[in-house]
Amino acid sequence: MLKSADTGLRAVPFPIDDPERIPAQRYYDEEFYQAELDHLWPHAWQMACRLEQIPEVGDWIEYTNVGQSVLIVRTNDGVKAWYNACRHRGVPIAGGTTVCSSHSTAYGNCSKTGFICPFHGWRWNMDGENTMIYGKHLFSERQLDEDDVNLVPCRVETAIGCAWINFDDDAPSLRECIGPLIDRLEAHNVHKLRAEWCFGTVLPANWKIAMEAFMEGYHVMQTHPQLERATPFMYGSMYERERGPVPTMVDESLSNVENQEIQIKSMELLSEGMAGMLHEKEVEIARGLVGMEEGLPEDKNQAMFMWLAMVMQQITEQLQAKGEPVPDLCAVSQSDPISAVEFLFPHYFLLPYFSSFSAYRIRPLGPEECFFEIWSLTMFPEGEEPDPVMEPTVLPFDSAEFPPIPRQDYSNIPIQQRGLHAKGFEFMRLSKDVEGLVSNYQRIIDGYLAGVPQDKLATATNELGGNFDGVIKDLDI
């Protein structure tokens, strides 16, 4: 990748010249994939692990992506990260036992034994300090300097209940890159969520194809017909007709109670479809409010919004009474609103509804293959949290064990990847009004590949918060 003479920036293969059209080659071309490995992943913040996976001093877990292995460790001084390579001959000092370690997760506790290289027995403590070199007298003094034998630190920061790593020591901070979205998510107590389960799968698709399936709701009508059939008036108001200031939440021909029952059915389908996105305990509370009409306004759509606010208030009060750290859902929905899907560049998603969330993480395995993980996240009373989920249950992408909603998405993603190779298919043709997130994050990738200054990229990345189902933006990069 050579720098161009006129701008000082690198040339980008298959660049986005029209924000509404994304060249198809970006999803399978070897040169483009290599450019991502060279210029995107070494500089972007990556979600490495959930903090609940390393609760005790000495706990560690391995994170792998694009050929790099990093050990995330809970120390007496907080969370630290070390590149997983012996300073002697480069052997991984923990984990690193599989060729494609995205499929499995190594973890343990090093508080007593430290890290021990399996090749020659060199040792390090949790703070990365070398504590033993076998046959130390055999080495030249200059080979034994601390900088030569201590583990190499990897940059790590924590937010929203996760540890994030960055291979670039000079990159802007995580909060600078993600922006105010982090504060909004933490107002919803996302950092207090705990995993109920995690599934993983290898998808025969480019990592960006896998992600873009979740960047808009425009696909619901065809891909998730059970959701559209439950509330066709709502999806119609969002996609079939010009959008108003608020979606249509009711069938005007029905009574308030009948519309409440329809909402419950929709919630049940979402809960069955994605578990953490709408937890059964929340649906159960909502069921108890069917029939509540006192004080509702005459306008049925306004009445539905008020009824949903009552549901949120009851979820808050009833789960707080059980000791769950649920925020005041009505208050934070006003002070710190978040979208139905929030994308944290470059590869992490959170999908909220009330107090529980689903989460996705996608890692590339090649130009046309990726590893996709799904978590179901919810809250528990203090002291009643389950044991942490340390690694995903890995399934074939077409397994019936996946929840219905991702199973439906996974039925499209592999065939879409094949379709990109069709003769005459030049580019994705995006809606400027509801598929803007796809264009916006792709153009930020171009900024990384071209070598745009990272402060400008961070400012642009801030614009991705709340951009689900959003418009194409002028990102000034």
What pTM was estimated for this model as a whole?
A: 0.95
Domain boundary among 335, 364, 397: 335
Residue 334 has φ and ψ, to the nearest 5°, of -90, -45
Are both 275 and 418 inside the same structural domain?
Answer: no
Are both 39 and 50 inside the same structural domain?
Answer: no
| Residue 6: band (very low, low, confident or very high) from pLDDT cuts 50, 70, 90 | low
Q: What is the pLDDT of residues 327-350, one digit of tens each?
A: 999 999 999 999 999 999 999 999
| Residue 7: band (very low, low, confident or very high) from pLDDT cuts 50, 70, 90 | low
| Residue 250: band (very low, low, confident or very high) from pLDDT cuts 50, 70, 90 | very high
| Residue 97: band (very low, low, confident or very high) from pLDDT cuts 50, 70, 90 | low
- Residue % of the chain over a pLDDT of 90: 95
Are both 112 and 260 inside the same structural domain?
Answer: no
Check which CATH number belongs to the domain holding 442 and give it. 3.90.380.10
Q: Which residue has the higher pLDDT, 102 or 42?
A: 42
Residue 274 has pLDDT above 90, yes or no: no
Distances (CA, A) of 240 to 39, 127, 220, 270: 40, 57, 12, 21
Are both 273 and 291 inside the same structural domain?
Answer: yes
Are both 209 and 283 inside the same structural domain?
Answer: no
What's the domain range around 455? Answer: 21-43+177-214+340-346+356-462
Residue 281 has φ and ψ, to the nearest 5°, of -65, -30
Residue 5 has pLDDT above 80, yes or no: no
Which of 467, 473, 408 is closest to 178 using CA atoms? 467
Q: How many domains does the chain have?
A: 3
Q: What is the pLDDT of residues 349-375, one digit of tens each?
A: 999 999 999 999 999 999 999 999 999
- Among 97-111, 159-173, 265-279, the range scoring the smallest mean pLDDT is 97-111
d(CA 463, CA 476): 11
Residue 19 has pLDDT above 80, yes or no: yes
- Residue % of the chain over a pLDDT of 70: 97
Domain boundary among 300, 335, 370: 335
Sheet holding 155-159, edge to edge: 46-50, 162-166, 155-159
Q: What is the pLDDT of residues 131-163, one digit of tens each?
A: 999 999 999 999 999 999 999 999 999 999 999
Residue 17 has pLDDT above 70, yes or no: yes
d(CA 318, CA 20): 46
Are both 106 and 144 inside the same structural domain?
Answer: yes
Strands 46-50 and 59-65: unpaired
